Structure 1
């Protein structure tokens, strides 16, 4: 058997190992690791019973369970499967490839408009940071956030520093939700976001930070979080935090990611 081992077999084993490792990471982030371990134990038991020990009766029963279990797993882990497939389609190289064929080149007028839209966001975040006003601003990039926008109140206004500050003012009815910015406009405010269940989030971060991280785990959006307790500015992107950033760093991030 070992004499017949070829490069194709090595690649086959490597791909399976990578797939299992990625599934392990995915389950660990969604706190389903115990279920993943249980499934692996069941699959190994089924393999030994059916292939190694050749127990026909028990193997036949397990075969039926496996065939039905695939459908059950799809139902149970539909959110995780959706995230897995979304991650495959939102890799940077794939997005760059798609943008190349969809647009061909960046419109100069659109770039200038984006530059003008960045400054009010930065200035509003600086002002709210000094006043320790909590804020959660989500900037749509390539993936549409239509389902998130519908959970809040439609604004549909130009990006304006005073408007942003007024929405997140402590007595404002919309200050607890998220603001969605898309296509150089404030689309909605008071929106409800998916909350991240990652165990790596520091306990000092509250629900606003978890919501900001959650939307970046499910889309390619950019989240800006201003802490109500400390006034520090945090940026979430691709499921990762960049904490305690300065105004210059915020402007640089927005310029790099929005233009």
Structure 2
């Protein structure tokens, strides 16, 4: 019955790699306005298929012209996400001294974490900053690679400590404005710029740090 289906090993590898790329694309646009744009494109595509099936020639021709420039439109609409993808791919993961970093980037196998001591230091710092009404934005990176965000700030590579965290976010300190990235039991960077929410429902009095946290 299915004799005409001839699946070889290369086909399985091909499908697997496409799945990996789709997964990475989803990780990049998840939680951003690009996700809404992507959803709109998918809806538009299925409407186009429906219009073609109903043989609505004029509307089908117009929508077909739009689909014809789809690749160029995708590059324009998702230029920031595409840039971040290639930046992540090209930064550090192709270093000849680290053969397995590319695989960890693609498949999310990079192992990072936080021990009780590190979490306690972060918790104490947050509690003290809350008491003094000091604003802070701390990103705890688990399996996600944030090199493209780390590169926007100042690299530290310091041991996690309550005093250091408080000093970084002390008002008018050189690195207080921006986010701190914590990964692999270390404070990796500070003064980093995070993607901000573009949700129009967010009150106007919320600043950049609030929008990034959302």
Given the alignment, which residue of 30, 35, 45 partners 2:33? 30
Structure 1: how far apart are the matches of 2:61 and 2:36?
26
Question: 2:137 is matched with which residue?
Answer: 136
Is 1:152 the counterpart of 2:153? The answer is yes
Q: Secondary structure at the match of 1:135?
A: coil
Q: Deviations over 1:34-56 (max 9, x none)?
A: 997799679757854x544564x
Equivalent pair of 1:179/1:191 in contact (CA under 8 Å): yes
User: Corresponding residue for 1:4?
Assistant: none
1:117 paired residue number:
118
Map of 1:170 onto structure 2:
171
Cα gap change, 1:146/1:64 in structure 2, threshold over 3 Å: closer, same or farther? same
Q: CA deviation at 1:73?
A: 3.8
CA shift digits 1:193-214 (9 cap, x unpaired):
110112454556432121123x
Partner of 1:223: none
Change (3 A) 1:69 1:128: same
Unpaired runs of at least 5, structure 1: 1-25, 83-97, 104-109, 214-259
Q: Aligned partners of 1:134 and 1:188: how far apart in 2?
A: 17
Contact between 1:46 and 1:59, CA under 8 Å: does it hold in 2?
no
Range with bigger deviation, 165-174 or 36-45: 36-45
| Distance of aligned partners of 1:52 and 1:210 in 2 relative to their CA distance in 1, 3 Å threshold | same
Normalising by structure 2, what TM-score?
0.59
Matches within 5 A, 1:4-43: 30=33
Q: Assess, with a 3 A threshold, how the Cα gap between structure 1 residues 59 and 151 changes in structure 2: closer, same or farther.
A: closer
Q: CA RMSD in A?
A: 4.1
**Secondary structure at 1:120's aligned position in 2?**
helix
The 5 A counterparts of 1:38-187 are: 44=47, 47-48=50-51, 50-52=52-54, 55=57, 58=58, 61-62=61-62, 64-78=64-78, 114-187=115-188
**d(CA) in 2 for partners of 1:35, 1:144:** 23
| Distance (Å, rounded) in 2 between the aligned partners of 1:209 and 1:160 | 24
What is residue 195 of structure 1 aligned with on the other side? 196
* Separation of aligned partners in 1, 2:38 and 2:151: 34
- Whole-angstrom CA distance in 2 between matches of 1:153 and 1:202: 30
C-alpha distance 196-186 of structure 1, shift in aligned 2 (>3 A): same
Give deviations 1:35-92, integer Å, cap 9, x for gaps. Answer: 97799679757854x544564xx4784375144132244224326987xxxxxxxxxx
SS at match of 2:69: helix
Assess if the C-alpha contact under 8 Å between 1:29 and 1:199 holds in 2: no
